[in-house]
Chains A and B, each alone.
Chain A
Amino acid sequence: METCIAHVDANCFYASVEMAEHPELLGKAIAVCGDPANRHGIILTASYPAKRKGVKTAMAIWEAKALCPELILVRADLRLYMRYSRYTRDIFYRYTDRVEPFGLDEAWLGLRGCPACGGEPLRIVQAISDAFKRELGITCSIGLSFSKVYAKLGSDYKKPDAITVFDRANYRERVFPLPVSDLLYVGRATTRKLNEMGIYTIGDLATCDPARLQRKLGKMGLVVHRFANGYDDEHICQVGDRAPVKSVGNSWTTPRDLTEDTDAWVVFMLLCESVGARLRELGCKCRGIEISVRDASLSWFSRQTVLPMPTNITEELTAAACALFRCHYHWSKGLRSLGVRGFDLVWSDEPVQLRLDIDANRQEELMRLDGAIDDLRRRYGFSIVQRAKVWTRPELARLDARHDNVVHPHGYFGQMEGL
């Protein structure tokens, strides 16, 4: 199989974009950070000079300043980064119509049969790298390989501004010695389990008996074994392919710590209003709901449950989220952020088995209420109508989760299954 899958990763994307827009920052230690007033005061991306001083993503601002006193902090401008992200895709589309974005700053490209640059993938990625520098003023690392996972490993292999090729001839000597934690979907917990099995490198994982991995890691054991061997044959979606929506979610880091149930209810209500409205717009209902909870010490967990009936009704989503929350959290600490996600989506018009214990008339009323609220907000904006109880916490009530939050792309597996 030829090496015709590329993974392009823009280096320190947010920081690079800021430097492209403000050349006076070039070569300096800069960090793009969230808004400290809204408690998003962490480092989102640092430039290479800052990284060399130890500044890392997700570090608190004070921590970064202690390591690098000359650090220049730049407030994140997501609109600008989305513009550059669009420009990067415009560049990709000149060479191929198979572009699968993975976040704002990464994408897989299918280069098989592309006529540009004599049809040679290596020359195409060189042209892309040049275009990044000339047109956008930013650099990228590119991995070129025969599988998506190896291509991604390639783009991480050498940074910044590099092209790495893992082909059939060299992958055993170049990929196999890499630590297993470099592999996509091998996080901290999986690395620990693999280490316990004596697996430290990608080569160890690739040559391990898959049955043994399955016993230890379940289904994911087989997946990471395939990844380690470069056996992923997932296709790269075509332009115009609409990635199937697998779930709809929103989360919010609140302006102050949440300390009791009413606080949590208000936030869940605001988040569920957004999730519900987006589900209704998609013409979907969800069969399951997941909450994610992060406390003041930044430790995090998520819990999910199956709903009695598929729904996109704000009130029902909120009730389910709150019930799940009450079961699993007992206010040992204040909370910093909450999230809600509706998953296992079905079309709204799909027939469902009615239940005697659920009042269909009440559901009908709630659906009409949601429809009316959606219409009002579409015409006059989010704040035209709100639930009164939300205003018992005015400092929280202003969240328009739907428009204030960017909806991030779903994970690698998001492309693999249909709705």
Chain B
Amino acid sequence: MKRRKLYVAVESYTDAAGVETPRIIHWPNGEQYPVTAVLRTVNRQHAKVGGTGTCYTCAFAQGGIGNVYHEVLEDDASSVIGARWFVEEKIEAEHA
């Protein structure tokens, strides 16, 4: 099985202190994964698909636990203009 980095749309909530929490992960195929709890946040590199950022370990409504990474995004002048989310996508060998 191969893995690759997949940028996804995420609905998140930012509290008054600026702490951001992912609420729903939207996969490109339309599937939605509501987050029931964030178990841990830690800055970490994703050793398998590459990239670095804040890793949110989340429990999902469908069951199961997974990581969503929050990665900084810059403009052409390297000023930080926001962030985006990525996950690890597993690809079956024949599609790889």
Residue B41, interface by CB 8 Å = no
Shortest Cβ distance from A21 into B: residue: B50
Interface of A (DSSP majority class): helix
B45/A79 in contact, CB under 8 A: no
Q: Determine if A87 and B74 form an interchain contact, defined as CB atoms under 8 angstroms apart.
A: no
Q: What is the CB-to-nearest-CB distance from A329 to chain B, in angstroms, rounded to a whole number?
A: 33
Contact B52 A79 (CB under 8 A): no
A contact residues around B51 at 8 Å (CB)? 20-21
Q: Which of B15-64 contact A (CB under 8 A)?
A: 43-45, 47-52
The segment from A32-40, A134-142, A319-327 that touches chain B is A134-142
Minimal beta-carbon separation of A325 from chain B (angstroms): 29
Instruction: Report the interface size class on chain B.
Output: 10 to 19
Does A135 contact B45, Cβ atoms closer than 8 Å? yes
Q: A21 to chain B: which residues have CB within 8 Å?
A: 50-51
A361 CB to nearest chain B CB (Å): 37
| Contact residues in B for A296 (Cβ distance below 8 Å) | none
B45 x A403 contact (CB < 8 A): no
Closest A residue, CB atoms, query B71: A83
**CB-contacts of B57-89 with A (<8 A):** 72, 74, 76-78, 80
Taking the closest CB of chain B, its distance from the CB of A218, in whole angstroms, is 39
A20-B50, A136-B45 given; name 20 further pairs at CB < 8 Å.
Answer: A20-B45, A21-B50, A22-B50, A23-B48, A23-B49, A78-B78, A79-B76, A82-B74, A82-B78, A83-B72, A83-B78, A86-B72, A86-B80, A131-B43, A135-B43, A135-B44, A135-B45, A136-B52, A403-B76, A403-B77
Q: Which residues of A contact B (CB under 8 A)?
A: 20-23, 78-79, 82-84, 86-87, 90, 131, 134-137, 403
Pairs of residues from A and B, 3 with the lowest C-beta to C-beta distance, nearest first: A137-B45, A21-B50, A135-B43
Q: Which residues in B have some Cβ–Cβ distance to A below 8 Å?
A: 43-45, 47-52, 72, 74, 76-78, 80
20 contacts between A and B (CB under 8 A): A20-B45, A21-B50, A21-B51, A22-B50, A23-B47, A23-B48, A23-B50, A78-B78, A79-B76, A83-B74, A86-B72, A87-B43, A131-B43, A134-B44, A134-B45, A135-B44, A135-B45, A137-B50, A137-B52, A403-B77
